[in-house]
């Protein structure tokens, strides 16, 4: 199936059901279908079906932004997500990486349009979603002329329909090629992991241009209602869950931590929730146990990356219900078991697949894996060594098949000749009641080579002494894995999608050095 077919299935199921609701807009499935046909017709009139190229939507969470995504896909375009919270330099770089021909932009970013036009030579069309400004045609004017008949885009499972940024914290994004087959596998995996009979009510609070938008696609096939918040504000999220009887939502752990730390977190009714999905990074087991107590037996986790989106593994709600069993409670540190349509193994540096309990790089195979990096065959070949996609994550699998991510391969700390995986130390520190977030890194040390340092962000109104954190780690991990120093920062730096920029923090301590190990 094509990506747009999942939305059209929702239209056929419930044409008069509310499809999307935001502060400014309401559309039923029937109304949204008409709008996406008009957008597609206007695009095709100017470029021809199948000749559309890459389409970027540069907007905060907004109903018309999602309409343009769907309209572009209907026209046979290639969705190239641009993150509204990203730096303009990064966004311009990705527009160039993806050879974007179309840009649908919110007026909030009008100040950047002259520079975007000057620095993105492939850009041919700029349309403003919510008004007009110099350098862009407004959406209403754009839609005045559309193709009299919209040709059907061929159903080719190998056709590229998405160029997704790798994001991350280690440099400019590469563009990951999603085919219709990748999307089909992701949709099938979603529903195999989280089945539902009734149409979901899905809260969109994280950026629609990232995982929150990706999760929306499979939900449309069940005629879900999307409740759109402009930002991931903890109080607004909790209020919206109760007000709209939300059944499903996705949030990164950093936002969940902020919700749990909010003084009003226990005031709201969360009984409508069926699936509270978290991804992007693991949650410390102690904090996850608290989330289950607050939000109910609805927490679920998926593991993936841009190159194999969202669902390489899945930790179900049932898997989370181990609070009273010390032996099985360790599963809260897991990202779950491999999903139905993806094969996952642990591999050593020589390409050997490892047995349960042994640590190595997590590698995956299957139709969920990308078609490759756009115009980057060398990077594609490197990611496919030994015939598997290499995630760059270090982990192991236990005897029951649960997968545990220990660290990013590049984040290992070697101190005094011993390997220390920072996630293990971070999980201990995050169990402290005053700590909201933390990063554990290796910093230069004349004796140890690398010394372990913890950089903390505390919960509002809390305080903690450096010695207290070090003593906690020593009591749980021993001296080798414990921080030699602790710093407290008001806020840890984060990427536009909410990931803590560990590499940026580490770079501050290694600046000016020829080697960083």
Position with higher pLDDT, 453 vs 50: 453
Domain boundary among the residues 392, 408, 424 is at 408
- Is residue 399 located within the same domain as residue 420? no
Q: Point out the least confidently predicted range of 132-136, 241-245, 360-364, 411-415.
A: 411-415
The enclosing domain of 494 has a CATH number of: 3.30.300.30
Same domain, 338 and 434: no
The pLDDT, as a whole number, for residue 515 is: 57
Q: Is the pLDDT of residue 172 over 60?
A: yes
HEC sequence for 269-320: CCCCCCEEEECCCCCCHHHHHHHHHHHCCCEEEEEEECCEEEEEEEECHHHH
Query: Using alpha carbons only, how large is the chain's radius of gyration in Å?
Result: 23
246 in the same domain as 119: no
Do 306 and 432 lie in a common domain? no
Classify residue 139: in a domain, yes or no: yes
Give the residue numbers spanning the domain of 15.
3-183
In tens, the pLDDT along 469-510 reads 999 999 988 888 999 999 999 999 998 878 899 989 998 998
User: Does one domain contain both 14 and 146?
Assistant: yes
8 A C-beta contact, residue 299 and residue 320 = yes
Q: How far apart are CA 203 and CA 294, in angstroms?
A: 18
Give the mean pLDDT of 223-236: 96
Q: Do 173 and 298 sit in the same domain of this protein?
A: no
Residue with tokens 């909201």: 436
Region 377-384 average pLDDT? 96
218 belongs to a structural domain:
no
Question: Among 408, 426, 442, which residue terminates a domain?
Answer: 408
Instruction: Tell me the Ramachandran region of residue 130: left when phi exceeds 0, alpha when psi lies from -120 to 50, beta otherwise.
Output: alpha
Question: Which residues share a beta bridge with 338?
Answer: 313
Looking at the chain, how many residues does it have? Answer: 517
In a shared domain, residues 380 and 281: yes
Q: What integer pLDDT is reported at residue 253 of this predicted model?
A: 85
| CATH code for the domain in which residue 309 is found | 3.40.50.12780
The yes-or-no verdict on residue 170 having pLDDT over 50 is no
Round to whole Å and give the CA distance between 371 and 177.
Answer: 5
Mean pLDDT of the chain: 92
Residue range 305-331: mean pLDDT, rounded = 89
**Nearest residue to 273 (alpha-carbon basis) of 170, 194, 355:** 194
Task: Note the Cα 429 to chain centre separation in Å.
Answer: 24
- Annotate 494-511 with three-state secondary structure: ECCCCCECHHHHHHHHHC
Cβ proximity of 498 and 259 under 8 Å: no
Q: What is the pTM of this model?
A: 0.85
Distance, CA of 83 to CA of 61 (rounded, Å): 10
Domain co-membership, 245 together with 389: yes
486: CB partners within 8 A, 6+ apart: 453, 454, 455, 456, 466, 469, 470
132 and 279: one domain?
no
Q: Indicate whether 100 and 158 sit together in one domain.
A: yes
Which domain-ending residue is among 357, 383, 408?
A: 408
Written as six digits, the tokens of 369 are: 């894996």
Contacts of 224 (CB under 8 A, 6+ apart): 10, 199, 200, 201, 202, 216, 248
- Alpha-carbon gap, residue 332 to 289, rounded angstroms: 8
Residues 241-259, mean pLDDT to the nearest whole number: 93
Residue 433 lies in a domain: yes
| 246 and 385 inside one domain | yes
Q: What is the pLDDT of residues 66-101, one digit of tens each?
A: 999 999 999 999 999 998 888 898 899 999 999 999
Question: How many domains in the chain?
Answer: 3
Together in a domain, 360 and 441: no
């Amino acid at each position: 199936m094509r990506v747009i077919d999942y939305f059209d299935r929702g239209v056929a199921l419930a044409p008069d059901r509310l499809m999307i609701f935001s502060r400014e807009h309401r559309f039923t499935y029937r109304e949204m279908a008409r709008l996406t046909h008009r957008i597609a017709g206007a695009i095709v009139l100017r470029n021809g079906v199948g000749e559309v190229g890459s389409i970027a939507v540069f907007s905060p969470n907004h109903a018309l932004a999602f309409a343009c995504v769907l309209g572009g896909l209907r026209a046979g375009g290639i969705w190239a997500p641009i993150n509204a919270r990203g730096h303009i330099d990064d966004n311009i770089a990705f527009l160039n990486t993806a050879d974007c021909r179309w840009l649908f932009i919110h007026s909030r970013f009008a100040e950047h349009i002259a520079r975007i036009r000057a620095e993105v030579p492939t850009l041919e069309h700029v349309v403003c979603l919510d008004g007009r400004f110099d350098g862009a045609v407004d959406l209403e004017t754009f839609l005045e002329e559309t193709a009299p008949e919209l040709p059907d885009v061929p159903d080719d499972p190998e056709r590229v329909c998405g160029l997704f940024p790798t994001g991350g914290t280690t440099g400019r994004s590469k563009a990951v090629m999603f085919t219709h087959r990748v999307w089909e596998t992701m949709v099938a995996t979603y529903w195999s992991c989280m089945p539902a009979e009734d149409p979901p009510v899905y809260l969109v609070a994280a950026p629609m241009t990232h995982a929150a938008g990706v999760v929306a696609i499979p939900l449309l096939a069940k005629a879900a209602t999307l409740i759109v918040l402009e930002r991931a504000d903890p109080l607004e999220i909790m209020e919206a869950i109760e007000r709209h009887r939300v059944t499903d939502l996705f949030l990164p752990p950093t936002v969940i931590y902020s919700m749990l730390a909010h003084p009003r977190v226990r005031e709201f009714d969360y009984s409508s929730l069926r699936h509270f999905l978290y991804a992007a990074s693991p949650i410390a087991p102690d904090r996850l146990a608290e989330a289950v107590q607050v939000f109910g037996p609805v927490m679920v986790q998926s593991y993936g990356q841009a190159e194999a989106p969202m669902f390489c593994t899945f930790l179900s709600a049932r898997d989370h219900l181990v609070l009273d069993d010390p032996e099985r409670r360790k599963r809260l540190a897991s990202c779950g078991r491999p999903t139905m349509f993806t094969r996952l193994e642990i591999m050593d540096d020589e390409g050997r697949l490892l047995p349960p309990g042994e640590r190595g790089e997590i590698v995956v195979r299957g139709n969920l894996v990308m078609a490759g990096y756009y115009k980057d065959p060398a990077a594609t070949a490197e990611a496919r060594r030994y015939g598997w996609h290499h995630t760059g994550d270090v982990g192991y699998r236990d005897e029951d098949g649960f997968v545990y991510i220990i660290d990013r391969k590049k984040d290992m700390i070697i101190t005094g000749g011993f390997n220390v995986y920072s996630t293990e130390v971070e999980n201990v520190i995050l169990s402290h009641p005053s700590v909201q977030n933390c990063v554990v890194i290796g910093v230069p040390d004349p004796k140890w080579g690398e010394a372990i340092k913890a950089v903390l962000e505390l919960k509002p109104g809390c305080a903690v002494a450096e010695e207290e954190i070090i003593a906690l780690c020593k009591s749980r991990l021993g001296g080798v894995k414990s921080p030699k120093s602790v710093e407290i920062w008001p806020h840890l730096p984060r990427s536009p999608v909410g990931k803590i920029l560990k590499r940026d923090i580490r770079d501050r301590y290694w600046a000016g050095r020829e080697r960083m190990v």
